[in-house]
Structure 1
Amino acid sequence: MKSVLYWCLLLLGLHIQGRYSSSLNDEQQKQKIHHSSEDHPQAEGENSAHVKLAPSNADFAFKFYKQIREEAGNKNIFFSPLSISTAFTMLSLGARANTLRQLHKGLAFNLTEIEKQEIHEGFQRILQLLNDPHREVQLNMGNALFIDERLKLLQKFLEDVTNFYYSSAISSNFRNPPEAIKEINKYIETKTHGKIVDLLESLDPDTVMVLVSYIFFKGYWENPFNNLNTRDSDFFLDAKNSVKVKMMHQSKNFNIHRDEELSCWVVEIPYKGNVTSLFVLPDEGTMKQVEDALLKETVSKWLQAFEKRKIYLDLPKFSISSSYDVKSLFQKMGVTELFTNQADLSGVAEETLLKVSKAIHKATVDVSENGTEAAAVTMIELVPLIAPFPPPPHIRFNRPFLMMIIDKSTDGVLFMGKIVNPAAKED
């Protein structure tokens, strides 16, 4: 009978107010990440591990998005592909045989292009870059293992998760479920600045370990919206239905691109610091066409084709939250053995055979005048030469659109989503 490894993926919200507060041994963890990052040179070439890792992480992001889309129906989508891939890659340190092969394939790692050691070194560097205290945006990412006193981790696994993923190891008493649940929920609440409370309601009786992986982002627009220009407006869910939203307005220069092939507009709205956002507005009736084409090559083409131009931009304020059963989604992506009695996680613990019983992911996002994420899409109009200065197009994000938040220092997709109803708080 295999014991259960309870795997908990957690993503905290964007644009959360509040001062960062440390708990447990997180301050030491943060210092270790900072000191490790100082050992790396600032200039890093194309052969750097995190640079080689970026295409795989992008492939996983879009593959996972399309899997969510199959089940989401007409609901909002919002998640952190980087949070999920980090957590499962961390687990892969203890996976062996076919379990490891399935994980690598599911996470889009091609071992002919990147070695296993480079994968973990890449995530190590990503964590260092994201947690740099000198960044203008507030960006923190970390991991914690809550370990039952009966479970003895292999020293190699413990060293690797600490070295590559800066994970805290916290001793917990899972034979007292209420106490363990309270401890884990407290950690989660602290890391999410009170945004996610009482996430865990119960634990499997056989649980011997819980992993929490979190990412926190708070960014301010380079050019914030003026709240005096925010007005009530209609957001059209479809041809027949609409909801009232608070619509923000801005008239400034943005990097824009019209993709004629996919029938959509793309606009980049940067944050202060080295993080940016892309918002994609498909023409009416072309959302599925754009979603089907979401690949790293597509996004790369958009980024290279940007042209700076003044636009009139309308963008709704919204605050949404989404939860996902990652276990179910991974199984449909071919990662199955990890969750069965055939799981080979023999590299994790001594004398205890493990499997993953549960994997959950929750994400929240707030978009407002000051920042977090937002973007606009605009049109480039062709006019006769006698009119060399066409009026700026007025782009209204008053129908479903896509969004991405990208960290420029790692080329990582931090967050990704589809907003079909800005008035819906949680899906």
Structure 2
Amino acid sequence: MKTTFYMSLLLAGLHAVAHGQLLPSHHNGHDTNEHKHHAHEAIACLKLVPNNADFAFQFFKEITLEAPNKNIFFSPVSISTAFAMLALGARSTTQTQILEGLTFNLTEIQEKEIQEGFHNLIHMLSHPEGGVQLNMGNAIFLTEKLKPLKKFLDDAKALYQLEAFTTNFNNPMEAEKQINDYIERKTHGKIADLVKDMDPQTVMLLATFVFFKGSWEKPFKPEHTEEREFFVDAEMTVKVPMMYQTGRFDLYFDEELSCTVVRLHYNGSATAFLVLPAKGKMKQLEETLVKETVQEWSEHLFQSLVSLYFPKFSISGSYEITNTLSKMGIVDVFTDQADLSGITGTPDLKVSKVVHKAALDVDERGTEAAAGTAAEILTLSIHPTIEFNRPFLMLIFDRDTNSTLFIGKIVNPTITS
């Protein structure tokens, strides 16, 4: 019988401080050598971008099937990173399934290139442009009797900034406290109680976390926020604090998918796509959303003067994702067929379960520009109003790496978890 290890995909809190106007990405005049290094890293992780995006939307489809009509929020890049790191210690079919489950075609890209790409991706995401705070990290908690191979620990530290801790899983409460305290500290209090009801047979837990805090380039004014109705479905209406501003926004109306897309940039390199399907069209959007859709939206955006209403809300998603990943082809690692001998040198290890948790806050606060004031003069012509007063999607990307940081479906903004 295999010893099990518990994988905690710690998905960290996203604190999105809502602002409004979208501007193109700005780059300040950094040192040339720094730019060259940045360019090299960008090229290395560029190879991962299409696959990571495919994985993100496939995972989204699976989760929406499992939890229809519920809020969804997760970080695909966190899940991909954790499993790419696990692949370092996987061998034979187990490793192939993990990498193919992450949508890599192993005839086109080698495992070494994948690992190098993730290393550069983590580095770039951990050093974003000013205005966005994005912390990523990985930790492994090991029972004292489990001695991982030096090569695995060295490689994981070098490629994934892995931290390793000794943990007494025989005392589940003590182990839970150690792990949850670590995660809570690393995510600035956003992710609490990540693991619970731990199996005392656990010998290893792998945790991956992401923390994001962004501010819109132009904040919503708190005095303009008012309570308005949000139509959860045909039968249910709730009251939500609705933020408001009028300004020029990047828009696209996708006639084929019957949805309105508004793009908002954060200060720094993060961008949010807010996607409002027409009534009754959410299911169609969920079933057909792929990376090419987002690419098409990006290419067809146009600037328009609109009145934008967007809810102020906090949600979190917590998932046991073993079954979801199994449906995507990552099977053996959770069974007695698992070969994780690259971690300990022996094949008697399997993953018992994978827990992933993410949180999102959206409010008016944001960083005002420190210098210069410009009064916005708006003509009094009739302009469209876009109100996010029914279920919508929120996709958050990093522009420098084209990475899908977070995907959310907000069905009821008054339900926090």
Q: Same fold (TM over 0.5)?
A: yes
- Distance verdict in 2 for CA 1:192–1:42, change over 3 Å: closer
Q: CA deviation at 1:65?
A: 0.2
Displacement after TM superposition at 1:256 (Å): 0.8
Equivalent residue, structure 1, for 2:66: 71
SS at match of 1:43: helix
Q: CA distance change for structure 1 residues 141 and 344 in 2, over 3 Å: closer, same or farther?
A: same
Q: Which runs of 4+ in 1 moved over 4 A?
A: 37-40
Paired AA for residue 236 in structure 1: F
Cα distance in 2 between the residues matched to 1:230 and 1:213: 35
Q: 2:399 aligns with which of 397, 402, 408?
A: 408
Question: 2:12: which partner in 1?
Answer: 12
> Any residues of structure 2 matched to 1:171-210 within 5 Å, and which?
171-210=166-205
Partner residue in 1 for 2:310: 315
TM-score normalised by structure 2 residue count: 0.89
Would you say how many aligned residue pairs link Structure 1 and Structure 2?
A: 391
Q: Which residue of 1 aligns with 2:219?
A: 224
Residue by residue, what CA displacement relative to the aligned partner does 1:260-315 show, whole Å, maximum 9, x if unpaired? 11111111011000111001111112112222221111111110111111111011
Deviations 1:88-139 (A, max 9, x none): 1110111112111211221111123322111111111111111116532111
Are 1:269 and 2:264 counterparts? yes
Q: Which amino acid aligns with 1:230?
A: T
Is residue 43 from structure 1 mapped to residue 39 from structure 2 by the alignment?
Answer: yes
Identity of aligned residues (%): 53
- Give the 3-state SS of the residue equivalent to 1:348 in structure 2: helix
CA distance in 1, matches of 2:173, 2:34: 41
Query: Which residue pairs with 1:25 in the alignment?
Result: none
Q: What does 1:197-346 align with in structure 2 at a 5 Å threshold?
A: 197-346=192-341
SS in 1 for 2:182: helix
- 2:5 partner amino acid: L
Which whole-Å CA distance do the structure 2 matches of 1:209 and 1:301 have between them?
43
Cα contact 2:140–2:164 (8 A) shared by 1: yes
Q: Does structure 1 conserve the Cα–Cα contact (< 8 Å) formed by 2:41 and 2:124?
A: no
Is 1:363 the counterpart of 2:354 in the alignment? no
Q: Give 1:203 shift.
A: 2.2
Tell me, yes or no, if the aligned pair for 2:271 and 2:399 is still in contact at 8 Å: yes
**Matched position secondary structure for 1:42:** helix
Write out aligned runs for 1:104-183 (5 A): 104-132=99-127, 135-183=130-178
Query: Distance between the aligned counterparts of 1:287 and 1:354, measured in 2?
Result: 41
1:347-404 deviations in Å (ceiling 9; x for gaps)? 11034610000101111111111259xxxxxxxxxxxxxxxx9632101110111110
CA distance in 2, matches of 1:280, 1:259: 10
In 2, are the aligned partners of 1:277 and 1:405 still within 8 Å (CA)? Answer: yes
CA distance in 2 between counterparts of 1:167 and 1:38 reads 24
Match of 1:424? 415
Q: CA deviation at 1:49?
A: 2.1
Structure 1 unaligned residues grouped into runs of 5+: 18-36, 373-388
Moved more, 258-267 or 166-175: 166-175
Measured against aligned partners, the alpha-carbon deviations of 1:52-84 in whole angstroms (never above 9, x if no partner) come to: 100000000000000001011211011000011
Does 154-163 or 397-406 show the bigger shift? Answer: 154-163
Which region of structure 1 is more displaced relative to structure 2, 96-105 or 73-82? Answer: 96-105
Gaps of 5+ in 2: 18-32, 368-379
Alpha-carbon distance in structure 2 between the residues aligned to 1:133 and 1:422: 29
How much does 1:328 deviate? 1.6
Per the TM alignment, residue 195 of structure 1 is displaced from its structure 2 partner at its CA by 2.9
In 2, the alpha carbon distance for the partners of 1:215 and 1:146 equals: 18
8 Å CA contact 1:53–1:114 kept in 2: the answer is no
Other-structure match for 2:3: 3
Matching residue's letter, 1:197: A
Equivalent residue, structure 2, for 1:385: none
Q: Residues 153-208 of structure 1: CA distance to partner in whole angstroms, max 9, x if unpaired?
A: 12221121111101011122333333322211210121122233333233222211
Question: Which shifted more, 173-182 or 119-128?
Answer: 173-182
> CA RMSD, aligned part only?
2.1
SS across alignment from 2:170: coil
Q: By how many angstroms is 1:15 displaced?
A: 1.9
Higher RCO (C-alpha 8 Å, min separation 6)? 2
1:39 CA displacement: 10
CA distance in 2, matches of 1:135, 1:89: 28
Of 344-353 and 237-246, more deviation after overlay is shown by 344-353
SS where residue 173 of structure 1 aligns?
coil
Q: Deviations over 1:22-67 (max 9, x none)?
A: xxxxxxxxxxxxxxx9696133498x22001000000000000000
Distance 1:45 1:148, change over 3 A: closer
Tell me the secondary structure at the aligned position of residue 215 of structure 1: strand
* Contact 2:274/2:392 (8 A) holds in 1: yes
Cα distance in structure 2, aligned partners of 1:411 and 1:39: 17
CA distance in 2 between partners of 1:269 and 1:229 (Å): 18
Cα distance in 2 for residues equivalent to 1:100 and 1:43: 30
Moved more, 82-91 or 343-352: 343-352
